[in-house]
Amino acid sequence: MRAPLRSRPGPGAGHHQVLFFIAECVPFAIALVVLTIELTPAHVVYTGPLLVATPALAAVTMGPKGTLAALGVAVVVSVITATHNDAWGGQQVYTNLVALFLVGAASVVTSRAVQTRRESELNQVRRIAAAAQEVLLRPVPARLGPVRAASMYLAAETGAQIGGDLYDAVQTRYGVRMIVGDVRGKGLPAVRAAAVVLGAFREAVHYEDDLVEVISHCGEALRRDAALAGAGAAGDDAFREAFVTAVVAQIQEDATVELINRGHPPPLVIGEGSARCLTPAVPLPPLGLEEFIGGPPGRLESYPFAPGDRLLLHTDGVIEARDGDNTFFDLARAMEAMRGRTRQAFLEDLRDALLEHTKGSLADDVALIVVDRVDRSDPVRGR
């Protein structure tokens, strides 16, 4: 599932917010300038057209309420300045007020229409993003052979449904196979790379008996698409340079889990004792950087995973999350503290602990798969 998240703005959002705030202040700044001119000896300057422009400018960046507020401020300033300068006897004051009301009414109607259109477009984008997530990052099945599983995705960027993290879990004739990965970079190039790797994984897991070949297919698919991007526009530079850290796991009937890790944070297992980090004996580079593999493309490494044990596959958005003192989130300790919870409750509590640690502002996306090994004879336990 994709969990709700108080997330941070995306890259450059702070700069855009400042510019937007400045734009919103312009109509009121104009009214202040007019008021200053009219209440000083500089009132010989004709300021009427400036006030007429304020609601029109407000309609560009503010909704109907903001436009009405700008119109109200302009009317008040007009009345104050006309009274202060004894100008009520002249036709110009009334002409300015009529123009102000006409422009103001048109601006309110326009701002309302613009707001309605923007809301409609935003809702459409959200529906498309939700549909894309269902295809790209679908929740893992709750029951997969000898294991029970659950997943969660937290997008760090405001408004995002999906990003550069990826996961999946599939029941195959070779056992339960899972992948968790993280694309270098952000935005649409990262989503594209994630889609390429997931597509290759979902195809290869069903016909490749060797898990090393499965992850090799993912790397080859990424390189092929990078080559296609190289023949395209310059805008594809970010994708051509993308690489993906990933860990692929295989769980069969015996009490072990087999892993091949391509530069990804190692999974954790917890049973009766403390959480164990399944660190690979031979580090391998991420997908897309196969030229740095000096020998064979890697080998499976096997770790104990007995009934009652819990396996957690995650991305570096968890272990690299920091608090105000720049202290990293202690995932192993959090996992131990949540021992005994159902899978969904574990993920929700882990999400809450992560948000509490970071004060609700993640610096990177988070993808999680939690897997419990159970006996085949056991009924489905929890959610």
The number of CA neighbours under 13 Å toward the Cβ of 89 is: 2
Q: Are 305 and 354 in contact (CB under 8 A)?
A: no
Beta bridge partners, 149, equal 371
Q: Measured between alpha carbons, how far is 337 from 332 in angstroms, rounded to an integer?
A: 9
Q: Measured between alpha carbons, how far is 338 from 358 in angstroms, rounded to an integer?
A: 19
Residues with Cβ within 8 Å of residue 150, at least 6 apart in sequence: 1, 139, 140, 142, 343, 344, 346, 347, 369, 370, 383
CA distance between the termini of the chain: 13
Residues with Cβ within 8 Å of residue 120, at least 6 apart in sequence: none
Range(s) within the chain of domains with CATH label 3.60.40.10? 137-373
Token readout for 163 is 């990003």
Q: Measured between alpha carbons, how far is 257 from 280 in angstroms, rounded to an integer?
A: 13
Place of tokens 């131990």: 336
Q: Measured between alpha carbons, how far is 360 from 378 in angstroms, rounded to an integer?
A: 38
Sheet-wide strand order for 301-304: 165-172, 175-183, 244-251, 256-262, 301-304
Q: What is the DSSP letter of 149?
A: E
Which of 283, 179, 289 has the alpha carbon at shortest distance from 242?
289
Q: Are 77 and 34 in contact (CB under 8 A)?
A: yes
Burial of residue 230 (CB within 10 Å: 0-12, 13-18, 19+) is: exposed
Q: Measured between alpha carbons, how far is 34 from 104 in angstroms, rounded to an integer?
A: 17
Q: What integer pLDDT is reported at residue 296 of this predicted model?
A: 67
- Which helix or strand (DSSP H or E) is residue 368 part of? strand 366-373
Look at strands 175-183 and 165-172 and give their pairing.
Answer: antiparallel
Task: Choose which CATH entry (3.40.980.10, 3.60.40.10, 2.40.50.100, 3.30.70.120) describes domain 137-373.
Answer: 3.60.40.10
pLDDT 10s digit of each residue in the chain, 383 long? 444 434 444 444 556 677 777 778 888 888 888 888 888 776 666 677 788 888 888 888 888 888 888 888 888 888 888 887 777 766 777 888 888 888 888 988 888 888 888 888 877 776 666 666 666 778 889 999 999 999 998 876 655 556 678 999 999 999 999 999 998 877 777 888 888 999 999 999 999 999 999 999 999 998 888 877 665 554 455 555 678 999 999 999 889 999 999 999 999 999 888 899 999 988 889 988 887 776 667 788 999 999 999 999 999 999 999 988 889 999 999 999 998 899 999 999 999 999 999 888 888 888 999 999 987 665 544 44
What is the identity of the amino acid at 164?
G
The number of CA neighbours under 13 Å toward the Cβ of 15 is: 3
Q: Measured between alpha carbons, how far is 310 from 328 in angstroms, rounded to an integer?
A: 23
What is the identity of the amino acid at 358?
T
**Is residue 63 helix, strand or coil?**
coil
Question: 356 phi and psi, to 5 degrees?
Answer: -65, -40
Q: Measured between alpha carbons, how far is 258 from 270 in angstroms, rounded to an integer?
A: 16
Rounded-to-10 torsion of CA 3, 7, 12, 16: 110
Q: Are 34 and 47 in contact (CB under 8 A)?
A: yes
Q: What integer pLDDT is reported at residue 135 of this predicted model?
A: 65
Residues with Cβ within 8 Å of residue 131, at least 6 apart in sequence: none
Q: Measured between alpha carbons, how far is 371 from 314 in angstroms, rounded to an integer?
A: 11
